[in-house]
Amino acid sequence: MSKPSLTVGLVGYQFMGKAHSNAYRQVNRFFDLPMNVRMKTICGRTEDKVKAAADTFGWEGYVTDYHEMLADPEIDVIDVATPGNSHCQIVCDAAAAGKTIFCEKPIGNTLEEAEMMHAAVMTAGVKHGVFHNYRKIPAVALMKQMIDSGDLGEIHHVRAVYLQDWIADPQFPLVWRLDKSVAGSGSHGDLNSHLIDMARFLVGEFEEVSGHMHTFVKQRPIAGEIDDKMGAAASSEMGDVTVDDAVLVLAKFRSGAVGTFEATRFAYGHKNHAKIEINGSKGSVIFNVERMNELEYFNAEDPEGRQGFRTIQTTEAAHPYAGQYWPPGHIIGYEQTFMNWVADAVEKSSETRKWISL
């Protein structure tokens, strides 16, 4: 492995920090790339937590102040995986330090921040990218190929919803994602940004939009501690929800297509239902991230009487990214069945019993 290294410093160790760390740790195991990722430093403000994260996620070291990483000449990339209110400062500083920047979405909490960040990276002349990961799902990348190759013809409709239900219970506490000063917005920035990115990726720029935001539950129990989505304990004191619970948008695209967008955290039964449908003059596609390994495709040029939406399992070598993983039909995530097996086996290897898998 004599390839050059791409050395990364990551800011943030919660949900996104865990996900990004995994990506860095695994990417050279599955992809034959021109560089090997080196996981040098992870940064967080709470020393015992970031130290534990470094160990668990596989980083060589940790710091509690991201400026230390900016000063490290070995670090090529700064990955910003913190809540939205800190993105702008970190990115501008990292750009000034000449680092490549990988930033979680939404870019900033306001348009002004985003523009400032963009100016900073352009002025500094540094490479930069936003972690719009849904573009990288095989089925979404396949949609892109199909649209670009003209398989769907002229696009008429975009129909996108992102439905979750984790705060539908009014007793769910006031976590940081419901605090505008930290999160910037609610379902709009957290969820709708994925839909907007997919729509722009697939159909191009928006021409005009109109829409509403709604907050169904205006006060909630104050969370015991600022934590990630699932981690807060409620108290009896109430505080104001300062972000949107739901956002609804109608749109026109420059291409002439029209679209509907809806993101909500109040759609009971839907856990992570990010679904986008596109109808064109030659066919349609439907994708739902909850069934991430499938793409529904209707080809209007199929013979009469034989037409119908087909479910493509995007696990073939012919599909984007999929060939890097497992044989056809073995969905991504298949490998975790073995990990679960090994976890149980390791548990039992320290016990007295003999037969492990039972």
Residue-wise burial string across 54-64, b where 16 or more C-beta atoms lie within 10 A, e elsewhere: beebebeebbe
Q: What would the two tokens of residue 225 be?
A: 């501690």
Q: Is 129 in the site for a second copy (CB under 8 A)?
A: yes
CA atoms within 13 A on the CB side of 320: 14
Q: Is 206 in the site for a second copy (CB under 8 A)?
A: no
Instruction: Write down the residue that tokens 């793409």 correspond to.
Output: 295
Q: Is 60 in the site for a second copy (CB under 8 A)?
A: no
Q: Which stretch binds a second copy (CB under 8 A): 61-69, 84-92, 118-126, 174-182?
A: 118-126
Closest CA to 229 of 165, 163, 166: 166
**Conformation bin of residue 196: beta by default, left when phi > 0, alpha when psi is -120 to 50:** alpha
Cα angle, residue 254 at apex, residues 253 and 255 outer, rounded to 5° = 90
Contact residue for a second copy among 86, 110, 216, 239 (CB under 8 A): 216
The least distance separating a second copy from the CB of residue 92, rounded to whole angstroms, comes to 16
Residues 296-315 that bind a second copy (CB under 8 A): 297-300, 302, 304-313, 315
Contact residue for a second copy among 66, 131, 172, 176 (CB under 8 A): 131
Q: Which residues lie below 8 Å from residue 221, measured CB to CB, with a gap of 6+? A: 171, 173, 174, 234, 235, 236, 237, 238, 239
Cα 124–chain centre separation? 26
Q: Is 229 in the site for a second copy (CB under 8 A)?
A: yes
> For residues 26 and 181, which CB has a smaller minimum distance to a second copy in the complex?
26
Q: Is 28 in the site for a second copy (CB under 8 A)?
A: yes
Residue 9 pairs in a beta bridge with 41, 78
> For residues 49 and 291, which CB has a smaller minimum distance to a second copy in the complex?
291
> For residues 82 and 264, which CB has a smaller minimum distance to a second copy in the complex?
264
Closest CA to 77 of 115, 27, 129: 129
Residues 320-339 that bind a second copy (CB under 8 A): 321, 324-339
Q: Is 57 in the site for a second copy (CB under 8 A)?
A: yes
Residues 247-286 that bind a second copy (CB under 8 A): 248, 250, 252, 256, 258, 260, 262, 264, 266-273, 277, 279-284
Binding mask 180-199 for a second copy (x = CB under 8 A): --------------------
Residues 134-163 that bind a second copy (CB under 8 A): 134-138, 142, 156-157, 159, 161, 163
> For residues 55 and 65, which CB has a smaller minimum distance to a second copy in the complex?
55
Contact residue for a second copy among 114, 116, 168, 238 (CB under 8 A): 168
Contact residue for a second copy among 71, 119, 233, 342 (CB under 8 A): 342
Between helix 193-203 and helix 138-148 the angle, nearest 10°, is 30
Q: Give the Cβ contact number of residue 8 at 10 Å.
A: 25
Contact residue for a second copy among 49, 144, 180, 291 (CB under 8 A): 291
Q: Is 96 in the site for a second copy (CB under 8 A)?
A: no
Distance CA 330, CA 138 (A): 13
Contact residue for a second copy among 11, 50, 70, 130 (CB under 8 A): 130
Q: Give the type of residue at 354.
A: K
- The one-character DSSP state at 34 is S
Q: Which stretch binds a second copy (CB under 8 A): 62-70, 109-117, 166-174, 219-227?
A: 166-174
Q: Which residues lie below 8 Å from residue 14, measured CB to CB, with a gap of 6+? A: 81, 227, 228
Total residues binding a second copy (CB under 8 A):
147
Q: Give the Cβ contact number of residue 219 at 10 Å.
A: 12
The least distance separating a second copy from the CB of residue 143, rounded to whole angstroms, comes to 12
Q: Is 356 in the site for a second copy (CB under 8 A)?
A: yes
Q: What would the two tokens of residue 347 be?
A: 């548990």
Q: What would the two tokens of residue 322 be?
A: 């999929």
